[in-house]
Amino acid sequence: MIDTVLSATRPLRARRAGIDTYQQPVVYLRGDCPVCRAEGFQSQAQVEVIGNGRHVLALLHQVQGDWLRHDEIAFSEAAWSLLGAADGAEVDVRHPPVQDSLAPLRAKVHGTRFDYTALRLLMEDVSHGRLSDIHLASLVTVCAGGGLDFDETVALTRAMVDVGERIDWGVSPVMDKHCIGGLPGNRTTLLVVPIVAACGVLMPKTSSRAITSAAGTADAMETLAPVDLDLATMRRVVEREGGCIAWGGTTRISPADDMLIRVERPLSLDSEGLLVASILSKKVAAGSQRVLIDLPVGPLTKVRSAAAAEQLSRSLVAVGAALGIQVRVQRTDGTQPVGRGIGPALEAMDVMAVLERQPDAPADLRERALQIAAGVLEMAGRSAAGAGEALAREVLADGRALAKFAAIREAQGGARQPPRAAHTQPVTAPAAGTVRAIDTRLVARAAKLAGAPRDPAAGATMHVRLGDRVELGQPLYTLHAESAGALQYALSFVRSQLPLVRIGQDGGRSPAP
């Protein structure tokens, strides 16, 4: 017995497992190792790993194979990054301290309202990975379906800001824009930022990568320039060029939000309070002072009705005011994809076509970006009310926006050329008629099955829009993939579904699937 206890106190050797567990820190121990026997650790237990001067809380998975020795502990990529040690470094493993934040979470389940103190405790533990996915799922669940009132939403937003880094740019105004999402190809940020920055208005933009979509803003920008900017580099780029388009994951700007999103998306729970807190906490933390929100409304977007759009708009504006920032919501059409490309490189090509004023550049992407840029310029006081669109159009037309975008790309690490997929396949019209509907969700899913955003060149290119007249056999969209297998996988999905693009025949009839 004495030997077993002593062996459990001896350090273990750290080993990098090379397993991607996304943002969930996971460690691996042999089930029959002395530590597991002495401490009574079971799979799915949370443990604290101490090494390299750091304390890492991680989920334990037990292994039975011989690939791991009794004196070793293996780390997932997320856990390895948090530890910051080298292979073979000595670490200690023990039971984690009791989390005080779980008490207010349990109280909320039984009907007690959150206050700032409780939410600050929770967000502190969330941001440092101290809560298991089960506890995070519980938090998301109690916040869903109207679980947060206005005061709780304000408190949550403030708490999410306070547990992370906060940027002060030292000037005013600092502008930003955000899209609620859910609409393929809506890559206006890459156009709005250079237009606004070319007008002398500060616009540092931190953006996300795709989680459930075929491309995020950071994914598309990454095919044109580096986006993994640390805070010092981001500040240098913005001070030099007046704007940037960077991935927010390299900073600790509202880190609790990233952790919550990881469990919120798979649950598919509708939570206005969490959505508002997620958006505005990152804007406040990034130093934004005035924010324009692009809110697409359509039958398959996140916001599907005028009533829901009105409710969300009121909440965004009110919570923003409580946090000291000005928010304006601009509703846009969400009935069909924007531009032609769906996927990182394909969307980036659309952006460059607009900036370069190519004759065949997607007009809908251009006009949508000009409207949003107009709103930002008017909010910034750079133009009078109603005059922002004319200014934005002039900056795009005379090449200043293109020049500014080139300068931003160079400042962020140098320009890149978007890759092109090795394999393509058009999907054609089954009959002549008029395009009556485009299922934006199925189109995005087909692009993802083709490999986007994992393969930057993969995705889909739309050839038609609502109301277009098409002939039998005319291409409706083209799938792009890096491998023949991925292309066939996406095509199999397309053939198993109702038509992604629905054609109405003469008299308004639609052909059979």
Q: Which of 115, 151, 270, 398 is catalytic?
A: 270
Residue 270 annotated to the active site:
yes
**How many C-beta neighbours within 10 Å does residue 55 have?**
17
Residue type present at position 414: G
Rounded Cα distance between 190 and 405, Å, is 8
Q: Which distant-in-sequence residues (6+ apart) come within 8 Å of 507 by Cβ? A: none
Task: Give yes or no for a cis peptide into 96 (omega within 30° of 0).
Answer: no
Q: In sequence order, which residues have a C-beta less than 8 Å from that of residue 314 and are 6 or more positions away?
A: none
Three-class SS state of 152: helix
DSSP secondary structure, 253-291, as one string: SSHHHHHHHHHHHHHT---HHHHHHHHHHHHHHTT-SEE
Write the DSSP symbol of residue 22.
Answer: T
Pairing of the two strands 341-342 and 46-51: unpaired
Dihedral angle sign, alpha carbons of residues 134, 136, 139, 145 = negative
- Cβ(504)–Cβ(491) under 8 Å? no
Q: Is the peptide bond before 173 cis (omega within 30 degrees of 0)?
A: yes
Give one word for 136, left, alpha or beta, with left for phi > 0 and alpha for psi -120 to 50.
alpha
CA–CA separation, 31 and 511 (whole Å):
59
The DSSP annotation for 447-486 comes to HHHTTTTTSTT-EEEE---TT-EE-TT-EEEEEEESSHHH
The whole-angstrom separation of Cα 91 and Cα 372 is: 51
- Nearest Cα residue to 447 out of 212, 282, 221, 241: 212
Q: What is the maximal distance between C-alpha atoms in the chain?
A: 87
The set of catalytic residues is 270
